[in-house]
């Protein structure tokens, strides 16, 4: 059984262009590797170099200023990410965020040097756009829903009943999200809990009902990071 993906609304129009851009690049990478489905977790660092053909480096970026964690040089087609966060759960999100600047913002600047917040939710428009790109690239919607479907099947749960349960704010829903779905999705996609929740929150049914109820989403974010899944999900 598969999730009825056609019942889900598309994201707001202004984000569609970014979402489509991320999907196109993912498709290009998937085809390049000759795979039927994108590999998980999305190998963003590897794909930035090949097939996407950008220069990529992990190095000390302190020469660009204190606290600089990522740089994009549009003309040089170069992305640098700080070695300070190499083993950090934020690293992959940062790589995808910088790739977002590279493919979305060529007309808005030559270079992007940034520091500080690395998780979704910035108020600055270009940063929000790069975040949007990053969540789209690291957690493609179709794959997210397929994985959700697989987790439900793997645990011998009934899909229809589970869907009904998890869209409500019952104790059962809370337990399913916090003990099973969120930790498992974080592990499979190798993303932080915050990035995953940001992505899940925008998935809605046609009647506007959220897949992940708002109150549970805020609890998940408030209660900090998901247990580290990096080690077990590295291939």
Interface with Zn ion by CB under 5 A: which residues? 114, 127, 130
Q: Min. distance of Cβ 97 from Zn ion in angstroms? A: 5
Is 191 within 8 Å of 92 (Cβ atoms)? yes
When the beta carbons of 128 and 204 are compared against Zn ion, the nearer one is 128
The DSSP secondary-structure symbol of 62 reads: G
When the beta carbons of 31 and 124 are compared against Zn ion, the nearer one is 124
When the beta carbons of 127 and 149 are compared against Zn ion, the nearer one is 127
d(CA 83, CA 95) in angstroms, rounded, equals: 12
Q: Min. distance of Cβ 128 from Zn ion in angstroms? A: 9
d(CA 233, CA 95) in angstroms, rounded, equals: 18
Is 226 within 8 Å of 183 (Cβ atoms)? yes
When the beta carbons of 99 and 166 are compared against Zn ion, the nearer one is 99
Q: Min. distance of Cβ 185 from Zn ion in angstroms? A: 24
Cα angle: 202, vertex 2, 34; to 5 degrees: 85
When the beta carbons of 131 and 184 are compared against Zn ion, the nearer one is 131
List Cα–Cα distances, 5 to 22, 45, 146, 232, in angstroms: 19, 29, 9, 29
Q: Min. distance of Cβ 79 from Zn ion in angstroms? A: 11
Q: Write b or e for each residue in 120-146: b if 16 or more Cβ atoms lie within 10 A of its Cβ, otherwise e.
A: bebeeebbebbbbbbbbbbbbbebbbb
Q: Min. distance of Cβ 98 from Zn ion in angstroms? A: 7
């Amino acid at each position: 059984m598969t999730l009825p993906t056609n019942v889900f609304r598309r994201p707001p129009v202004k984000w569609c262009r970014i979402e489509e851009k991320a999907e196109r690049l993912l498709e290009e990478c998937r085809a390049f590797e000759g795979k039927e489905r994108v590999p998980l977790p999305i190998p963003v660092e590897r794909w930035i170099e090949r097939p996407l053909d950008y220069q990529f480096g992990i190095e000390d970026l302190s020469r660009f200023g204190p606290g600089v964690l990522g740089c994009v040089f549009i003309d040089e087609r170069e992305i640098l990410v700080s070695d300070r966060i190499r083993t950090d759960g934020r690293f992959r999100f940062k790589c995808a965020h910088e790739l977002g600047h590279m493919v979305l913002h060529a007309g808005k600047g030559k270079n992007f040097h940034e520091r500080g917040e690395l998780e979704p939710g910035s108020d600055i428009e270009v940063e929000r756009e790069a975040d949007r790109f990053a969540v789209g690239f690291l957690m493609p919607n179709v794959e997210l829903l397929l994985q959700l479907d697989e987790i439900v099947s793997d645990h011998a749960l009934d899909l229809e009943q589970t869907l009904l349960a998890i869209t409500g704010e019952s104790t059962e829903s809370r337990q399913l999200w916090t003990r099973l779905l969120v930790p498992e999705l974080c592990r499979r996609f190798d993303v932080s809990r915050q990035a995953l929740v940001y992505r899940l929150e925008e998935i809605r049914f046609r009647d506007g009902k959220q897949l992940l109820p708002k109150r549970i989403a805020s609890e998940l974010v408030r209660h900090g990071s998901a247990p580290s899944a990096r080690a077990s999900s590295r291939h």
